[in-house]
Amino acid sequence: MRHTILFLMLMAVLQAPACTNLIVSRGASADGSTFITYAADSHTRYGQLRYCPAADHQPGETLRLYNYGNLKFQLEIAQPAHTYQVVGFINEHQLAIGETTWGGRKELEHGSGIGIDYGNLIYVTLQRARNCREAIRVMHELVSAYGYSDGGESFSLADPDEVWIFEIVGKDDGKGAVWVARRVPDGYISGHANQARVTTFPLEQKRSRRSLSSKNIKHIADPEVECVYSDDVVSFARRKGWYSGADADFSFADTYNPLTFSGLRACEARVYSLFRRCADDMQRYEAYAMGDPSAERLPLWVKPNRKLGVQDVMALMRDHFEGTPMDMTQDVGAGPFHCPYRWRPMDFEVDGKKYVHERAISTQQTGFSFVAQCRRWLPSKLGGVLWFGVDDTYSTVYCPVYCGVTQVPVCFEEGNGSMSQYSETAAFWLFNRVSNFCYLRYDSMIQDVVKAQRELEEGFVADERRYAEQWAREENDRRLVGALNRFSNDRAERMMRRWTELDRFLLMKYIDGNIKHHDADGNIKTTPEGVVRFPQQPPYPEWFYRQIVDERGEVLQVR
């Protein structure tokens, strides 16, 4: 008997090539967790969590895949006997996957259009693999059996023990893909942001199993294996005339995604900004990040100067290049209130010369982001947490959703609003109300937002730690799942209530460009008679007045 299952990928969830990932190994974390992060940046991405329950499948049962971009039928694939539960980008076994798109050579863009796309590759793999090594094998088997219809992608993979970076690009002959995967060494962090990052890598040797070609992928479970790659990753490039050197000198990134100025300044610069905030001696790579291809190249991974906790990882995803020559709060484009955002397009032309706005990690077009935390010392359903947030990473709140939940919080629920349909109960729209209002007087208003953000996140992290300890020994699966549902839903509801209060407070405090006085509890100060004290009317900064005078001084001067 054969069943057909619809597997619809929402266009708003996975589409444009503009994302940032951080990868943290177990030895680099404060408590032995592994982490990956993912910011899904696109003006068409909508913040929601897709839930897919575990299921058993009959022989002959198939899965129909629909393209994530245009929702057209793509292909039909065989189902395994069992698939795992998936919540967003993490499954019940604490396997988490994120991605960034880099496209690669134009000759290979979108390959032949035949095969599985990267969005479906993520979700199908999460349904079929229990850890990073199984995920690499499943991805290889899927693209080998059905082809790969996309261009270049970097994937972050995490399980409770390991983290990997996996890079892949489709081929124009419709026969699968070329790819390479490397385990991030324990004690190190890595990252990627729309630019291929794996350069040279160790090739398979008879006396060592540290590296495997895909023909020997059956040995991937061997803990000594630290690198896996497709059999033709080098030979395919040779046939295309893109590489002629020795195999040992082959660079995946330089061959399939050669560096350009935009690849450095808009992409590698974000990885540099992640690294510089938690590792030593990063100043040496600043010229490279700013677009100089002859400067010293940023390494694939670095050792942080401190162990990173979950709130440290959240903070690393909040960045506008502060403290660097690319600081988006300091140039004239930030306006008088230091708003670190530039409306698109990123590039512009003046007097025949081309210029760019910076592309930071925190950006206004983020649809959603997450910090996936995986912990080996806890039961899987309790150990995996997707700290999920919507809208700009700088002003979002990361809300804990356990990988074992069977009920997604209403504010993140699939179908609760869309990019073209406003919803009062959707976190996406509430957070966008707050952030878009903040852009008007950013440097003052963001302080109130960050205060509320810290209040919630610090409480959530403390609550989650206590909750994990409380339920770690629960043997009744039904009671455990019920507890996880209650916890995740309660924190999401608490977040929505607090952000609704913040939305109203900001309007009262900052209406019409004024700033009203308020006390430490956020209450607007009034006279004994209940009249609001005269609001502050802070002036523009002096440089802004000077610019006005330089342009229109004669007209505006008081006579």
**pLDDT at residue 110, as a whole number:** 56
Distance CA 376, CA 29 (A): 13
Q: How many helices (H) and strands (E) does the chain have?
A: 13, 23
Dig out the tokens for 129 from the structure: 């693999």
Dig out the tokens for 152 from the structure: 């270049």
**3-class SS of residue 559:** coil
**pLDDT at residue 209, as a whole number:** 84
Dig out the tokens for 186 from the structure: 């324990």
Dig out the tokens for 83 from the structure: 């698939």
CA angle 261/37/431 to nearest 5° reads 95
**pLDDT at residue 16, as a whole number:** 42
Dig out the tokens for 515 from the structure: 């700033």
Amino acid at 270: R
The pLDDT-based confidence of 3 (bands split at 50, 70, 90) is: very low
**pLDDT at residue 319, as a whole number:** 98
**pLDDT at residue 10, as a whole number:** 32
The pLDDT tens digits for 467-508 are 999 999 999 999 999 999 999 999 999 999 999 999 999 999
Mean of pLDDT values over 7-16: 34
The pLDDT tens digits for 138-192 are 999 999 999 998 889 999 999 999 999 999 999 987 778 999 999 999 999 999 9
Q: Answer whether 54's CB lies under 8 Å from 83's CB.
A: yes
Distance CA 190, CA 150 (A): 24
The pLDDT tens digits for 79-122 are 999 999 999 999 999 999 999 999 999 888 655 567 899 999 99
Dig out the tokens for 100 from the structure: 């960034």
Angle between helices 442-471 and 427-438 (to 10 degrees): 150
**pLDDT at residue 537, as a whole number:** 86
115 exposure class (CB count in 10 Å sphere: 0-12, 13-18, 19+) = buried
**pLDDT at residue 14, as a whole number:** 35
Dig out the tokens for 521 from the structure: 């509890």
Radius of gyration of the chain (CA): 25
The pLDDT tens digits for 324-334 are 999 999 989 99
Task: Name residue 143's beta-bridge partners.
Answer: none
Of the CA atoms within 13 Å of residue 476, those in its CB half-sphere come to 4
Torsion angles phi and psi, residue 394, rounded to 5: -70, -30
Q: Strand 301-302 relative to strand 347-350: parallel, antiparallel, unpaired?
A: unpaired
Distance CA 173, CA 164 (A): 28
Dig out the tokens for 218 from the structure: 């059956």
Average pLDDT, the chain: 92
Dig out the tokens for 164 from the structure: 């990997």
Amino acid at 324: T
The pLDDT-based confidence of 39 (bands split at 50, 70, 90) is: very high
Sign of CA pseudo-dihedral 408, 414, 419, 423: negative
Q: How far is CA 339 from CA 42, 321, 444, 499, 522, in A?
A: 19, 13, 10, 21, 23
**pLDDT at residue 235, as a whole number:** 97
Distance CA 336, CA 548 (A): 11
Mean of pLDDT values over 260-270: 96
Distance CA 80, CA 56 (A): 8
- Residue 82 CA, chain-centre distance (Å), reads 28
The pLDDT-based confidence of 535 (bands split at 50, 70, 90) is: confident
331 exposure class (CB count in 10 Å sphere: 0-12, 13-18, 19+) = middle
28 exposure class (CB count in 10 Å sphere: 0-12, 13-18, 19+) = buried
Could you tell me the end-to-end alpha-carbon distance of the chain, in angstroms, rounded to an integer?
90
The pLDDT tens digits for 404-449 are 999 999 999 999 999 999 999 999 999 999 999 999 999 999 999 9
The pLDDT tens digits for 196-243 are 999 999 999 877 889 999 999 999 999 999 999 999 999 999 999 999
**3-class SS of residue 503:** helix
Please report, rounded to a whole number, the percentage of residues in the chain having pLDDT higher than 70.
94
Q: Which H or E element spans position 347?
A: strand 347-350
**pLDDT at residue 559, as a whole number:** 84
What is the number of residues in the chain? 559
Mean of pLDDT values over 124-133: 98
DSSP state of 230: -
**pLDDT at residue 547, as a whole number:** 92
Distance CA 176, CA 115 (A): 8
Distance CA 92, CA 181 (A): 23
Please report, rounded to a whole number, the percentage of residues in the chain having pLDDT higher than 90.
84
Q: Is the peptide bond before 185 cis (omega within 30 degrees of 0)?
A: no
Dig out the tokens for 471 from the structure: 């339920």
| Residue boundaries of the structural domains of the chain | 1-199+251-327+364-422+446-495
118, 179, 175: which is closest to 150 by C-alpha? 118
DSSP class per residue in 46-57: ---B-EE--EE-
266, 479, 478: which is closest to 356 by C-alpha? 266
Distance CA 370, CA 388 (A): 4
**pLDDT at residue 533, as a whole number:** 65
- Number of neighbouring beta carbons within 10 Å of residue 475: 7
Residue 518 in this model has a pLDDT that exceeds 90: no
DSSP class per residue in 260-286: -HHIIIIIIHHHHHHHHTTSSS-GGGH
Dig out the tokens for 360 from the structure: 């930071």
Angle between helices 118-128 and 132-146 (to 10 degrees): 130
The pLDDT tens digits for 283-308 are 999 999 999 999 999 999 999 999 99
Residue predicted with more confidence, 22 or 149: 22
